[in-house]
Structure 1
Amino acid sequence: MKALSKYILVVLSGLSFACGKTEPQTQIPAKGQAVPVTLLSLKSGDFSTEIQASGTFSTQDETLLSFKVGGIVSQILVNEGDPIKPGQILASLDLTEIQAGLAQARLGYEKALRDQQRAERLFIDSVATLEQVQNAKTALEIAEQQLKASQFNLTYSQIRAPKAGFVLRKFVNPGQQVSSGAAVLQVNGAASGNWVLQVTVNDQNWSQIREGDPATLLPANSSMEIPGKVIRKSQATDPLTGTYWVEISPEKTKGLELATGMFGKAIIRPSLQSSGWEIPFGALLDAQGDEGFVYVTPDRKSAKRVAVKIGKISKSSVQIVSGLEDYQELIVSGSAYLTDGSIIQIQKP
């Protein structure tokens, strides 16, 4: 029993000795005591970072098709997703009323033509006056234009495909009455390969992007990285989201199966470079939005708190756009113990 007690005492002594070897923790400097810091020389330069954004694919020629005149839909000859060819009939109205109007316009034209010819013969025989001949001629011209309008309405009582592509949406069905200009079908020209990826960016990224900037597209349904370029950007913010859109055109879409509304990502490389400073992430304090604070030393003896404007933020560094113009050295460690005017003790990194 005595041997067991001695063994326990030895183990406890060993544990106490091991605990005594723990690494000393950094002591918080007392008030008025110099704070140990490390410095970084500030050098301004130009930098450009990649902008990552996401959005959806679409074509530049999505079109809502409608009838020129109102009426009852007779036929819808396609369904959503169907491929279409240029000039293909996609839908038509019941032509009973339209053809009746055309026949009425043709009869009116024929009557006006007879009246005009009769007036000219009577004028030769000095029976009709010049005014009557002129009025008959005007009536003939009016009837001719009415006939052309009726023929035009008959032509556009059918919807034809403007180009090769696909049917995206079908808004009506046969037997439904539609008004003039009401959307019947939505189609695109996907067969011509005019795909774009429309992504959204914030105002800071928008100001750096220019038309023609290179980009890489990453469709959701493929592991391919497709080169492209920025072809257009919005000039007004979206009132609902507060963001701006940017359209990116891929250089090639061969081998890809794209659909309108498909999700995709883009990496944009702005050609416009910004000037400023790149500092370690840990040197930035109290960041809110695009503003924050850092500590600098103007005399290598004391710390000064300076407000800065923030650019891009990465995992290890921060881009500072303005605020450090008048300073040469930045405090990169020890900032947590500093206040404005604190005495510092410079240590080697």
Structure 2
Amino acid sequence: MNHDTGSVSGETVLIEGPTDDGRRRRRLIIVAVVAVLAIVAAAMLLTRSGDPAPSASSAADQAPRVTVIVPGRASVDRAVTATGTLAARREMPVGVAGEGGMVTAVLVEPGQWVRAGQVLATVDRSVQTQTAASLAAQVNVAKADLTLAQAELDRAEQLVGRGFISQADVQRRIATRDAAAARLKVANAAASEQRARNNRLDIRAPAAGLVLTRQVEPGQIISSASGTLFRMAKGGEMEMRAQLAEDDLVKLRPGARVSVTPVGSETKFDGEVWQVSPVIDPQTRQGIARVALRYDPALRPGGFASATIVGGTASVPELPQSAVLSDEKGNYVYIADKDNVVQRRDVRLGTVNDDSVAIASGLDGTEKVVVSAGAFLNPGQKIAPVLGKPGV
């Protein structure tokens, strides 16, 4: 530190250099900064301890605003979805009715319509034809014998009055005539039986309908043990055999409207339930509802189809389609509980319209259901619900 000394009136004076002024200014600046920081810290402490409301308001503002509705309940057609197989409503297996033989011709193909009694296939009848001719000849012999016996009886009746023959002779001729008549009846019966047997050699359609399958070829030897040669659908009528759960089957009645969609097709076919199974499979707890359908080439027996069965009305919640979500576990919706926390609720769908979905089970209509934006929410997330109108 530099000091200058001088003498004024015999006194010594100490003169400070410029370094002391700089130090004083720095001390003043530091003190001022510390004071400002202390004031700011005190202000912040007072604000936090005296007014906590802004932080709570900020947390509330961070919850997403989501539109919800309380759907209530509406009267809608009660619909049940089901799957099943297509089949002929009345399937007719056609086989050998007679003694059989070698097939000489098959006259129809699968997919053809036939009338009742139409010949489907012919069987060789060369031996049977000769037998029929022999029996026809025996009929002619029996007719001749009867004619002769009747003529002799007529002559005897004319002579008995003149006394040329006795009454006993007349009685014998009556017996001869009656025996000849009986033999004629036997011959006619035998000939008719042979004709019937010959007719049964041909394979004929038992009723008008559609040929479904053919399992016989020319040259094949057939008999009563050959089994089914053709399968037919009587009248071409088809049906779907829908498999339904036990609780759905109990509520179903014949006459219910049905919409059937075969697999691989977008065409819907209208039908109606004509029979509800009186028994339930004890293993699957399911039963069969038989749905009558009009013939269409797209309805192939043995194929798979889905169906929507409308049976009566029910009071159920209805939601916009945007409210219903689905994943590998099934269909579900998001609801907001009393604390406005999102919860998942599994549902079973009923009738699906163009703009709404009936909920068959899972909701009672009093819940606050998220209308949309469900894909962006997670269970347990807090939301700010905005109540909308049902149907919006």
TM-score, with structure 2 as normaliser:
0.52
Compared CA separation, residues 105 and 267, structure 1 to 2 (3 A)? same
Q: Secondary structure at the match of 2:298?
A: coil
Q: Deviations over 1:243-293 (max 9, x none)?
A: 43222234684xx5232211111110112x578x98xxxxxxxxxxxxxxx
Aligned to 2:262, which of 219, 225, 244? Answer: 219
Aligned CA distance change for structure 1 residues 187 and 193 (closer, same or farther; 3 Å): closer
What is aligned with 2:219?
174
What is the match of residue 361 of structure 2? 318
Structure 2: how far apart are the matches of 1:175 and 1:195? 31
- Measure how far apart 1:178 and its partner are: 0.9
Paired residue for 1:134, among 164, 178, 183? 178
- Assess if the C-alpha contact under 8 Å between 1:84 and 1:166 holds in 2: yes
Point out the more displaced range, 131-140 or 261-270.
131-140
Q: 1:123 to 1:91 in 2, by over 3 A?
A: same
- Pick closer, same or farther for the CA change 1:261–1:317 going to 2, 3 Å: closer
Distance across 1 between alignment mates of 2:288 and 2:97? 33
**Number of the residue aligned with 1:302:** none
Kept after mapping to 2: 8 A contact 1:68/1:153: no
1: CA distance, partners of 2:133 / 2:285: 55
1:77 maps to 106
Mapping of residues 165-244 of structure 1, within 5 Å: 165-170=210-215, 174-179=219-224, 182-188=227-233, 194-237=237-280, 243-244=286-287
Rounded Cα–Cα distance in structure 1 between residues aligned with 2:189 and 2:225:
20
Residue 67 of structure 1: how far off its partner (Å): 3.1
Alignment of 1:260-299 (within 5 A): 260-271=301-312
Cα distance per residue 1:59-89 (max 9 Å; x no partner): 3343222233112132342576353543654
CA deviation vs aligned residue, 1:165-211 (integer Å, no higher than 9, x gap): 3341415663323128942222335xx65222221223322221111
Does structure 1 residue 105 correspond to structure 2 residue 135? yes
1:123 is aligned to 2:153: yes
Give the SS at the match of 1:247. Answer: strand
Q: 1:216 touches 1:228 (CA, 8 Å); kept in 2?
A: yes
Change (3 A) 1:101 1:243: farther
Verify the 8 A CA contact 1:195 1:249 in the aligned structure 2: yes
Residue of structure 2 equivalent to 1:163: 208
User: What residue identity is the alignment partner of 1:217?
Assistant: V
Q: Which amino acid aligns with 1:101?
A: T
Give distance in 2, aligned partners of 1:317 and 1:268. 13
Q: Is 2:86–2:239's contact at 8 Å kept on the other side of the alignment?
A: yes
SS at match of 1:49: strand
What is the CA–CA distance in structure 2 between the aligned matches of 1:249 and 1:223, rounded to whole Å? 19
**Contact kept in structure 2, 1:79 and 1:167, CA below 8 Å:** no
C-alpha contact (below 8 Å) 2:139/2:187 kept by paired residues: yes
Gaps of 5+ in 1: 1-22, 24-42, 279-312, 321-329, 333-349
Give the whole-Å Cα distance in 1 for the aligned partners of 2:134 and 2:224. Answer: 22
SS at match of 2:78: coil
CA shift in 2, pair 1:317/1:208, >3 Å: closer
| Other structure's SS at 2:229 match | strand
CA–CA separation in structure 2 for the residues paired with 1:115 and 1:241? 73
Task: Give the number of aligned pairs.
Answer: 251
Cα gap change, 1:268/1:63 in structure 2, threshold over 3 Å: closer, same or farther? same
Q: What residue number does 1:147 align with?
A: 191
Q: Which amino acid aligns with 2:230?
A: L
Alignment pair present for 1:91 and 2:121: yes
Tell me the secondary structure at the aligned position of residue 133 of structure 2: helix
Contact 2:211 2:230 in 1 (8 A): no
* Bigger proportion of residues as helix: 2
Q: After superposition, give the CA deviation of every residue in 1:199-252 in whole Å (9 maximum; x if it has no partner).
A: 122332222111111111111131122232212233344688664322223468
